[in-house]
Amino acid sequence: MIISVVGAGIIGLTAALTLADRGHTVTVHDPAPASGASHHAGGMLAPTAEVVYKQDPLFPLMRASAEWYPDLIALTAKYTDLPTGYRTDGTLVVARDTADKTHLEELRDYQSRHGMEVDKLTVRQARKLEPALSPALAGAVAIGGDHQVQPRLFTRALIDACRSANVTFSPNRIESLDALDGDQVVVANGLGASQLVAGLDLRPVYGDVLHVRVPQHQYPLLTRVVRGFVEDRPVYLIPREDGTLTIGASTREDGRDQPQVQGIHQLMRDAIELVPALEECDFIEATAGARPGTPDDLPYLGRIDDRTVVSTGYFRHGILLAALGARCGAELVEKHTPAIDLSACDPRRHT
């Protein structure tokens, strides 16, 4: 089949590579590949740590995508030698004070009731795993199944892999689906999808993200992802193999697309509460990205007509759910039954 994919973020790129690997002729349309939400993402593959209360329909999608991620990494490696930043070190989740410890324990109980594996640790045990953690923490848990990629590296590798797989890249901005050639179309251009498909209720949710460099005498400051609660505010720190750390992320819906001083200050202060040695790191940059959210925070993933598949609205889970979007998106394009029930992701559910 001849297939047009609109959007070259991680969702569009992984769909394009999957379809090309299945023997289809694929063109990706995007004037600025990998410059949207994927550029600002943290990259945590965390189906357990990212659990949000009362979002039960999302849990099986997150677990399935995490299980399929090694296949996606292997597919990328089949076509490129560029690094993806894929790491399987696991996650520590810590609590700053006793109130945060209560929150952590309640979350652990909720995760356990939903079949997720979370191991309770003493603060001493957590600091043995990560000595840079503050000794003043009140509680900790370990999650072995949560992994990570480095989104900017991964999207660069995906673009190279797509080109090796004979995917064509077009810089044209698509204003109408009628302008696209091909047997099938995949609409995966994030917030822009609502301009192409009527009835999609998408909103921009901004998040401030920081990047710092660990001095050589401190490296590695951390060896796995550390998430934490500080006065009930969530914060995460992601170590990278290039000696940097990513710190995030605020959540705001104020329509402001630049990093906000308050958000940057709050993230830095909370991160230092958990890992005091961060004060010695070199500041690299602060960015803000707009993630496409839906009214129920579930993605739009499904067929809307005989020619068009929609894959957008992944909100905070776009990197994690890329494996799901790629596999199920390809199955939808080929008009096969998806490998997992996608009824909760019906693109027409808010029409």
Average pLDDT over residues 18-46: 97
- According to the model, what pLDDT value does residue 250 have? 87
Residue 346 tokens read as: 């019906």
For residues 310 and 6, give the distance between their C-alpha atoms in angstroms, rounded to a whole number.
10
Average pLDDT over residues 196-202: 97
Give domain 91-143+204-293's CATH superfamily.
D-Amino Acid Oxidase, subunit A, domain 2 (3.30.9.10)
Half-sphere exposure of 18 (CA within 13 A, CB side): 26
- According to the model, what pLDDT value does residue 249 have? 84
Q: At what angle do helices 151-164 and 58-79 cross, to 10 degrees?
A: 60
Rounded to two decimals, what is the model's pTM? 0.96
For residues 321 and 325, give the distance between their C-alpha atoms in angstroms, rounded to a whole number.
6
Question: What string of H, E and C letters represents the secondary structure of 138-202?
Answer: CEEEEECCCEECCHHHHHHHHHHHHHHCCCEEECCCCCCHHHCCCCEEEECCHHHHHHHCCCCCC
Average pLDDT over residues 284-304: 97
**Model confidence pLDDT, tens digit, residues 301-351:** 999 999 999 999 999 999 999 999 999 999 999 999 999 999 999 999 998
Class at the top of the CATH hierarchy for domain 2-84+149-202+295-345: alpha beta
44 contacts 238 by C-beta, under 8 angstroms: yes
- According to the model, what pLDDT value does residue 293 have? 97
Percent of the chain with pLDDT over 90: 97
98 contacts 231 by C-beta, under 8 angstroms: no
> Is it the case that residue 117 has pLDDT exceeding 90?
yes
- According to the model, what pLDDT value does residue 7 have? 98
- According to the model, what pLDDT value does residue 52 have? 87
Alpha carbon 142 to chain centroid, angstroms: 20
> Is it the case that residue 84 has pLDDT exceeding 90?
yes
251 contacts 208 by C-beta, under 8 angstroms: no
Q: At what angle do helices 10-21 and 151-164 cross, to 10 degrees?
A: 30
> Is it the case that residue 281 has pLDDT exceeding 90?
yes
**Model confidence pLDDT, tens digit, residues 176-185:** 999 998 999 9
Sign of the torsion formed by the C-alpha atoms of 223, 150, 316 and 280 = positive
**Model confidence pLDDT, tens digit, residues 215-236:** 999 999 999 999 999 999 999 9
Look up residue 338 and give its DSSP letter.
P
Query: Domains of the chain: which residue ranges?
Result: 2-84+149-202+295-345, 91-143+204-293
For residues 35 and 43, give the distance between their C-alpha atoms in angstroms, rounded to a whole number.
15
Percent of the chain with pLDDT over 70: 100
- E strands along the chain, which residues? 2-6, 25-29, 44-45, 91-95, 119-121, 139-143, 147-148, 168-170, 184-187, 203-213, 225-230, 233-239, 244-248, 282-293, 300-303, 308-312
For residues 188 and 292, give the distance between their C-alpha atoms in angstroms, rounded to a whole number.
11
Q: Is 177 exposed, middle or buried (0-12, 13-18, 19+ CB in 10 A)?
A: middle
**Model confidence pLDDT, tens digit, residues 136-173:** 999 999 999 999 999 999 999 999 999 999 999 999 99
For residues 26 and 132, give the distance between their C-alpha atoms in angstroms, rounded to a whole number.
47
What average pLDDT does the structure give for the chain? Answer: 97
Q: Is 328 exposed, middle or buried (0-12, 13-18, 19+ CB in 10 A)?
A: buried
